[in-house]
């Protein structure tokens, strides 16, 4: 790849990977929350999961094309990931724990990217 235009690739790559992983875990957690016995208690969490998956996806694609507002989108992605992690942390099942971890890692990567 043309390293002049697209650099610094390594810094983007780590954040894109975290966004893609967070997107996947949010979508999986969304699906599994729907079949939990206490699904009625999870409305806020489920909405956050769908929102978080979407902003992660938007962040990943915008970084990949080196969009001019990628840093702003990463900033917002970090905020939504933190919120989603907070909601998922209210539940003790493994998919919520794994998803909360992925959200926190993605938020950290996005804050690092935002500051670049």
Give me 54's structure tokens: 């979407």
- Examine residue 101 and tell whether it contacts its own copies (CB under 8 A): no
The C-alpha atoms of residue 99 and residue 39 are separated, in whole angstroms, by 17
Judged by CB under 8 A, the residue of 6, 7, 90, 116 near its own copies is 6
Contact yes or no for 92/58 (Cβ under 8 A): no
Contact yes or no for 106/24 (Cβ under 8 A): no
- Examine residue 22 and tell whether it contacts its own copies (CB under 8 A): no
The C-alpha atoms of residue 57 and residue 54 are separated, in whole angstroms, by 5
Per-residue binding letters, 42-81, with its own copies (x by CB under 8 A): -xx-xxx-xx-xxx-xx-xxx-xxxxxx--xx--x--xx-
Tell me how far, at minimum, the Cβ of 2 lies from its own copies, in Å. Answer: 6
Tell me how far, at minimum, the Cβ of 76 lies from its own copies, in Å. Answer: 5
- Examine residue 24 and tell whether it contacts its own copies (CB under 8 A): yes
């Amino acid at each position: 790849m043309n390293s002049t235009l697209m650099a610094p690739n390594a810094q983007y790559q780590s954040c894109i990977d975290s966004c893609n992983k967070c997107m996947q875990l949010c979508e999986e957690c969304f699906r599994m929350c729907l079949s939990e016995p206490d699904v009625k208690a999870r409305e806020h969490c489920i909405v956050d999961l769908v929102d978080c998956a979407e902003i992660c996806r938007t962040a990943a694609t915008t970084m990949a094309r080196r969009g001019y507002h990628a840093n702003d989108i990463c900033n917002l992605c970090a905020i939504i990931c933190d919120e989603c992690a907070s909601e998922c942390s209210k539940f003790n099942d493994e998919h919520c724990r794994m998803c909360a971890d992925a959200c926190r890692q993605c938020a950290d990567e996005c804050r690092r990217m935002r500051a670049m």
